[in-house]
């Protein structure tokens, strides 16, 4: 069940607290743009929870009940768990892992699936951060996305979360929806901040896989906004949200100071995390693996993940690959020293040769030893981050 050497995993887990991600693969309905691992078949709930319970216990034991400092319940729609189911899951987690140093426990929630009582129950179990999949506050756009909630429900959910005692509230906002206009994006962002969101994740609608929305667009029934419109909206948010007190800290993420997602930050800082549940990804030491995305196969443990072991060059290259997504950037001098220690100076030199012309063209900026993307660089980050991909 544990796909890596237990003793070495234990060593890695002992060095620093882990992040723990749990994937809840259920949704009432699939959104028209979605390519995540999720199902409407709630009859699988028992099997999924059973496997999660088993995995939590086994990992806790294998790693010697290690400390976790961030916990994240994602999906899917975790708010489809009933309060008692959530209570069980929380209890299993606490049994298996040392949560005394827990700094953050986030729940993802769909505004159309919850009420005040559920949020109060979750808060009482110790969950202290909630992330709502709001996407937009325009009912026509929400229907187009196949969201099961209306904008009024989203605002209610935010209000209930505050009433239930959540001080850390995040909302997802989507840019690039067919029919979405720039002014509306800004207005929705303002409304969400006024309604109590202390953190916003701004995602671009990206239809990289087959999905109903893609089909509608291909058939000419809907049109995506132009690259310019999307870029304008993204840039306008980069200006507007700091004015509202939420400066960006990552390409897609804005927060009031101190409200940044610690769990998500660990992905960009390459700190260890364990992901349990179908399609959940883990990184521990130099190992990385992703659980099966086929829910039943995962639940029955029929599709074991392939473990990838990163070599020194790949691990080094991920520091800027992920780190440059963050606004504070990457300590390039420190990276260079690390490269020297690993005998990888030529690799760092090669990166620099490719980055320099981009810095000259205003896509990156160097401040002291820190290298970071500019606002334009953020929007064009694929070409820049691609430098670090082999």
Identified binder of other proteins from the candidate list 101, 304, 361, 366, rule CB under 8 A: 361
Identified binder of other proteins from the candidate list 44, 47, 307, 322, rule CB under 8 A: 322
Select 21 or 59, whichever has its Cβ closest to other proteins.
21
Identified binder of other proteins from the candidate list 128, 172, 188, 260, rule CB under 8 A: 172
Identified binder of other proteins from the candidate list 41, 227, 311, 349, rule CB under 8 A: 227
202 binds other proteins (CB under 8 A): yes
Contact flags string 248-267 toward other proteins, x per CB under 8 A: ---xx-----------x--x
Three-state secondary structure readout of the chain: CCCCCHHHHHHHHHHCCEEEEEEECECCCCCCCCCCCCECCHHHHHHHHHHHHHHHHHHHHHCCCCEEEEEEEEECCHHHCCHHHHHHHHHHHHHHCECCCCCEEEEEECHHHCCHHHHHHHHHCCCCEEEEEEECCCHHHHHHCCCCCCHHHHHHHHHHHHHCCCCEEEEEEEECCCCCCHHHHHHHHHHHHHCCCCEEEEEECCCCCCCHHHHHHHCCCCCCCCHHHHHHHHHHHHHHHHHCCCCEEECCEEECCCCCCHHHHHHHCCCCEEEECCCCEEEECCEEEECCCCHHHHHCCCCCCCCEECCHHHHHHHHHHHHCCECCCEEHHHHHHHHHHCCCHHHHHHHHHHHHHHHHCCCEEEECCEEEECHHHHHCHHHHHHHHCC
180 binds other proteins (CB under 8 A): no
Select 90 or 264, whichever has its Cβ closest to other proteins.
264
Select 164 or 174, whichever has its Cβ closest to other proteins.
174
201 binds other proteins (CB under 8 A): yes
Region of 97-105, 140-148, 153-161, 278-286 interacting with other proteins (CB under 8 A): 278-286
242 binds other proteins (CB under 8 A): no
338 binds other proteins (CB under 8 A): no
354 binds other proteins (CB under 8 A): yes
Select 123 or 266, whichever has its Cβ closest to other proteins.
266
Select 159 or 365, whichever has its Cβ closest to other proteins.
365
Distances (CA, A) of 206 to 137, 178, 190, 389: 19, 11, 23, 21
381 binds other proteins (CB under 8 A): yes
Select 130 or 363, whichever has its Cβ closest to other proteins.
363
208 binds other proteins (CB under 8 A): yes
363 binds other proteins (CB under 8 A): yes
Identified binder of other proteins from the candidate list 288, 323, 324, 332, rule CB under 8 A: 288
- The residues that touch other proteins, with contacts defined as CB under 8 A, are 19, 21, 74, 172, 201-204, 206, 208, 227-228, 230-232, 234, 251-252, 264, 267, 273, 275, 279-283, 288, 290, 308, 318, 321-322, 354, 357-358, 361-363, 378-386, 389-390
């Amino acid at each position: 069940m544990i796909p890596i050497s237990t003793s070495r995993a234990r060593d890695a887990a002992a060095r620093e607290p882990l992040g723990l991600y749990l994937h809840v693969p259920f949704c009432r309905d699939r959104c028209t743009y979605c390519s995540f691992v999720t199902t409407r078949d709630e009859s699988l709930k028992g099997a999924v929870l059973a496997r999660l319970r088993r995995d939590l216990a086994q990992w806790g034991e294998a790693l010697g009940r290690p400390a976790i400092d961030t916990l994240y319940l994602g999906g899917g729609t975790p708010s489809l768990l009933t309060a008692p189911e959530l209570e069980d899951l929380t209890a299993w987690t606490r049994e298996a892992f040392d949560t005394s140093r827990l700094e953050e426990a986030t729940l993802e929630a769909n505004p159309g699936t919850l009420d005040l009582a559920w949020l109060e129950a979750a808060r009482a179990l110790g969950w202290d951060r909630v992330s709502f999949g709001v996407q937009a506050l325009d009912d026509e756009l929400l229907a187009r996305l196949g969201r099961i909630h209306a904008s009024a429900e989203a605002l209610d959910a935010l209000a209930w979360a505050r009433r239930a005692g959540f001080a850390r509230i995040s909302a997802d906002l989507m840019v690039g929806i067919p029919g979405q206009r720039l002014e509306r994006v800004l207005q929705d962002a303002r409304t969400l901040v006024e309604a109590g969101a202390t953190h916003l994740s701004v995602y671009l609608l990206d239809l990289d896989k087959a999905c109903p929305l893609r089909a509608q667009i291909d058939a000419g029934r809907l049109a995506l906004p132009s690259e310019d419109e999307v870029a304008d909206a993204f840039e306008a948010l980069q200006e507007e949200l700091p004015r509202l007190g939420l400066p960006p800290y990552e390409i897609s993420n804005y927060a009031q100071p101190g409200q940044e997602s610690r769990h998500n930050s660990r992905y960009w800082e390459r700190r260890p995390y364990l992901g349990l549940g179908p399609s959940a990804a883990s990184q521990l030491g130099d190992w990385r693996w992703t659980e099966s995305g086929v829910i039943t196969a995962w639940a029955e443990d029929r599709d074991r993940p392939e473990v990838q072991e990163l070599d020194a060059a790949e691990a080094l290259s991920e520091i800027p690959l992920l780190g440059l997504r963050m606004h504070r950037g990457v300590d390039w001098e420190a990276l260079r020293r690390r490269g020297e220690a690993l005998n990888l100076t030529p690799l760092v030199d090669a990166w620099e040769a490719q980055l320099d012309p981009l810095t000259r063209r205003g896509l990156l900026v160097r401040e002291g030893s820190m290298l970071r993307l500019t606002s334009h660089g953020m929007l064009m980050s694929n070409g820049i981050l691609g430098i670090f991909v082999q």
